[in-house]
């Protein structure tokens, strides 16, 4: 085959040498616009795993890279006058020039033709090529020529960064944070050869502009950075090798993601590779890793399918199908890490103490979890666990989820909440034996707080005929039977979530009729009821149209909430939550998707919050002062024009000002048009942002299914409590089970169950030992 690689970066060079090694008969040319030593950047970073892959495919290149690289395990943080260090992280750093020179020399040894200082503007310039590798970088001309084919999704990020170097040598991957009168700057620093370290300085756009750096040339920018980090640089200068670039050399990162990676241009097959097809932010140092592993996978497919021109279409199809899975995973991690650095000045630097800031930074990508940190540096993590526990007046080394949490007069034994989950098993709004068993079992299961499903303040406020209510004293007595049992037979606390279904009421139980959220048939023997909402807008197009609430309706519903709250106190609940999420009545006022009012209760967010805040104030006044009260909100409607995470911060601030103790941060279910982005812990960022920016305690919810998730969230300060839903349906003793799974044996079991504790713990201990032994083989 005749192959042309447009772009002589790591992707193009490494593919060329691997492909030439696979088939010496291939005619391969690499075309590069720059001189051999003219390259942007200083050092690059990739993982030990990538180097292991290189050893398998070309031991000679890997050996030369290994001789030239710097390897380190430690990450060091300089923050607020403190230096904190953690080990076991495993990075490889090498000069970008050195890496390219190694790849260039290896290409020449194998017979690859290298053409420097040649512009390659278009893939059509090489009509005799069977295959064209477009590895021409983030601003790829090949990709730009055919956007309708490759369908690139390019996002320019807000932070500014400048890529510098210094002769000060660092023995760890070092992060420096400095505060100025206009905001925070951070530097990502690592040694890559015996003389030089990479020194990337980053800050938000508004901070960059406030310091006049938008008007500064390269020399002025370097002088500014030298002064800012003078204490750490210890007299060493900062240097640039970007003189060939115009302007100040401050850049914005561009996230590139393409829907299609290859194309037949009528003469040649063209495939994008490296930064041309996908980019990963330097916050996790994976751009070079992606490029090298792209090359490996493409050659792997040629080896498996056949390295002839006729095989190219199948090779390229399989290449994207296999490779994009790993790329998406790494891009998501890089996106999380990038966003952390973009918001850390506003969200974490001032709010968190150095110990917690370090933990938050280490877990920023969500690839590194609590137990993974224990494997990397057990001593550091246990020191951090002890620090976290001391702050809760609970000395000792213990996972954060098993530290107590106090709010007003209530102290939870741990940070696990059994999320309120609709059961649809009530009769006439009354709870019975089913609820006693259901809630009692979960109270015995080890969680600190058990929440009852949404309970209606009136018969018309129910979602279905099977939903509980608290509009009469008989219902209160039923609930008191449950709370008394929980208080006498367990050390858990029990809370009640009260809410009015509003436009989502009078629907079927999930297993009856047309199913969940569907309106009951008009001839249903149990009967429908009229609905209320902020506006006369049904949840589903074919749903019952609710009545837009009048002032009289508002007063009546508020009075119902107050009466239910007083009964909840009489029933003995320890905690109360007001449901203002998921498109129910109070949520229908908050979201602009469902509130079309033109009076004082519609329009601006302040107006849309007016009635929910009225209800909250009335409920808070009726609820005992010494008991906590939380509010559940939808922090994101997942629909254009709906509530955004930024709005959620303002919503949380409003409820905090009204007296709320905590915000339960859910999302969605406001519009049937929603398009959520699901994933593990996918709603935790809402809790994190609200906690830091609104300054109020939060509950994280959504796809939290392991102790590792809970500990990572709590330890990083992303939330104060974690609500676990579906796992508690599968296992009422989820908390006891997870404690045993991670080897935490100090959690007390119900006395009647204690005999089962050693067996469960021993079983998990054997599993952990087996996993450790297997990894060592």
Largest CA distance in the chain: 89
Contact 293, 11 (CB under 8 A): no
Please tell me the distance from the alpha carbon of residue 715 to that of residue 366, in angstroms, as a whole number: 13
**370 - beta bridge partners?**
none
Exposure string (b/e) for 688-701, b if CB count within 10 Å is 16 or more? bbbbbbbebbbbbb
CA proximity to 79, closest of 168, 171, 179: 179
Please tell me the distance from the alpha carbon of residue 320 to that of residue 258, in angstroms, as a whole number: 11
Within 13 A of 603's CA, how many CA atoms are on the CB side? 7
One DSSP character per residue, 396-421 reads S---GGGS-EEETTEEESSSEEE---
Q: How many CB atoms lie within 10 A of CB 70?
A: 21
CA angle at 738 for the pair 680 and 333, rounded to the nearest 5°: 25
How long is the chain?
A: 777
Q: How far is CA 706 from CA 405, 713, 731, 742, in A?
A: 20, 11, 12, 10
Q: Which DSSP helix (H) or strand (E) runs through 579?
A: strand 575-580
> Is the four-CA dihedral 442, 448, 452, 454 of positive or negative sign?
negative
Beta strands in 655-708 (DSSP E): 662-666, 697-700
3-state helix, strand, coil in the chain (%, to 5): 40, 20, 40
Active site residue 584: yes
Q: Exactly one of 319, 584, 601, 611 is catalytic; name it.
A: 584
Q: How far is CA 595 from CA 322, 427, 462, 644, 737, in A?
A: 45, 32, 20, 15, 44
Contact 118, 33 (CB under 8 A): yes
Q: How many CB atoms lie within 10 A of CB 766?
A: 10
**84 - beta bridge partners?**
77
- What's the N-to-C CA distance of the chain in angstroms? 41
Matching residue, tokens 């670039």: 245
CA proximity to 243, closest of 535, 40, 398: 40
Please tell me the distance from the alpha carbon of residue 421 to that of residue 81, in angstroms, as a whole number: 46
Q: Which DSSP helix (H) or strand (E) runs through 269?
A: strand 269-272
Please tell me the distance from the alpha carbon of residue 324 to that of residue 710, in angstroms, as a whole number: 29
Question: What is the 3 state secondary structure string of 166-224?
Answer: ECCCCCCEEEEEEEECCEEEEEEEEECCCCCEEEEEEECHHHHHHCCHHHCCHHHHHHH
Contact 410, 628 (CB under 8 A): yes
Q: Which DSSP helix (H) or strand (E) runs through 612?
A: helix 605-622
Q: How many CB atoms lie within 10 A of CB 139?
A: 12
Contact 268, 127 (CB under 8 A): yes
Q: How many CB atoms lie within 10 A of CB 448?
A: 23
Catalytic residue positions, numbered: 584
């Amino acid at each position: 085959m005749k192959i042309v690689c447009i772009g002589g970066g790591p992707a193009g060079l490494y593919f060329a040498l691997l492909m030439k090694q696979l088939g010496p008969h291939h005619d391969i040319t690499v075309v590069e616009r720059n001189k051999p030593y003219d390259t942007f950047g200083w050092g690059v970073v990739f993982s030990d795993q990538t180097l292991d892959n290189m050893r398998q495919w070309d031991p000679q290149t890997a050996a030369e890279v290994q001789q030239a690289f710097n390897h380190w395990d430690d990450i060091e943080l300089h923050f607020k006058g403190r230096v904190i260090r953690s080990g076991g992280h495993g990075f490889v750093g090498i000069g970008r020039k050195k890496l390219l020179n190694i790849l260039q020399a290896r290409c020449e040894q194998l017979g690859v033709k290298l053409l420097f200082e040649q512009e390659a503007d278009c893939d059509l310039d090489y009509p005799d090529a069977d295959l064209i590798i477009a590895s021409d970088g983030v601003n790829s001309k090949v990709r730009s020529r055919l956007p309708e084919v490759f369908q690139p999704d390019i996002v320019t990020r807000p932070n500014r960064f400048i890529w510098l170097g210094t002769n000060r040598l660092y023995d760890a991957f070092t992060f420096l944070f400095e505060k100025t009168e206009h905001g925070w700057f951070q530097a990502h620093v690592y040694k890559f050869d015996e003389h030089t370290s990479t020194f990337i300085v980053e800050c938000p756009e508004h901070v960059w502009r406030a310091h006049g750096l938008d008007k500064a040339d390269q020399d002025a920018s370097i002088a500014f950075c030298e002064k800012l980090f003078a204490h750490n640089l210890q007299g060493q200068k900062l240097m640039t090798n970007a003189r060939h670039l115009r302007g100040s050399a401050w850049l914005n990162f561009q996230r590139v993601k393409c829907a299609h990676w290859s194309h037949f241009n009528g003469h040649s097959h063209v495939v994008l590779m490296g930064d041309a097809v996908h980019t990963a932010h330097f916050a996790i140092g994976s751009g070079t890793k992606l490029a090298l592993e792209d090359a490996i996978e493409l050659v792997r497919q040629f080896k498996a399918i056949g390295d002839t021109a006729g095989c190219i279409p199948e090779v390229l199809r399989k290449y994207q199908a296999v490779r994009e899975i790993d790329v998406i995973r790494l891009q998501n991690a890089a996106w999380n890490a990038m966003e952390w650095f973009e918001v850390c000045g506003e969200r974490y630097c001032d709010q968190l103490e150095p110990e917690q800031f370090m933990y938050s930074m280490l877990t920023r990508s969500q690839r590194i979890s609590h137990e993974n940190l224990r494997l990397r540096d057990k001593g550091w993590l246990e020191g951090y666990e002890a620090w976290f526990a001391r702050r809760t007046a609970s000395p000792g080394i213990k996972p954060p989820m098993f530290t107590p949490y106090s709010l007003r007069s209530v102290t939870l034994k741990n940070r696990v909440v059994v999320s309120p989950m609709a059961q649809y098993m009530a009769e006439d709004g009354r709870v019975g034996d089913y609820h006693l068993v259901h809630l009692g079992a979960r109270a015995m299961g080890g969680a600190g707080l058990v929440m009852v499903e949404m309970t209606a303040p009136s018969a018309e406020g129910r979602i279905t005929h099977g939903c509980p209510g608290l509009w009469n004293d008989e219902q209160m007595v039923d609930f008191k039977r449950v709370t008394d049992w929980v208080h006498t037979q367990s050390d858990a606390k029990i809370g009640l979530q009260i809410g009015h279904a509003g436009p989502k009421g009078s629907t079927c139980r999930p297993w009856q009729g047309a199913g969940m959220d569907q309106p009951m048939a008009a001839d249903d023997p149990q009967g429908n009821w009229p609905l209320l909402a902020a506006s006369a807008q049904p949840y589903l197009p074919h749903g019952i149209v609710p009545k837009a609430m009048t002032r009289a309706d508002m007063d009546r519903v508020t009075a119902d909430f107050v009466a239910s709250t007083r009964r909840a106190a009489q029933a003995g609940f320890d905690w109360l939550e007001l449901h203002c999420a998921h498109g129910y009545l109070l949520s229908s006022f908050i979201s602009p998707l469902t509130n079309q009012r033109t009076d004082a209760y519609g329009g601006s967010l302040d107006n849309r919050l007016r009635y929910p805040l009225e209800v909250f104030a009335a409920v808070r006044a009726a609820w005992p002062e010494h008991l906590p009260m939380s509010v559940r909100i939808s922090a994101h409607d997942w629909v254009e024009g709906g509530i955004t995470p930024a709005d959620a911060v303002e919503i949380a601030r409003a409820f905090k000002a009204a007296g709320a103790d905590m915000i339960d941060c859910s999302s969605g279910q406001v519009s049937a048009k929603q398009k959520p982005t699901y994933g593990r812990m996918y709603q935790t960022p809402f809790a994190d942002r609200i906690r830091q920016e609104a300054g109020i305690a939060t509950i994280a919810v959504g796809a939290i299914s392991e102790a590792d998730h809970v500990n990572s969230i709590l330890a990083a300060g992303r939330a104060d409590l974690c609500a676990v839903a579906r796992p508690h349906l599968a296992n009422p003793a989820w908390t006891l089970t997870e404690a045993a799974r991670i080897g935490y044996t100090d959690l007390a079991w119900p006395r009647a169950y204690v005999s089962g504790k050693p067996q469960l713990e021993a079983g998990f201990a054997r599993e952990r030992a087996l996993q450790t032994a297997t990894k060592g083989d």
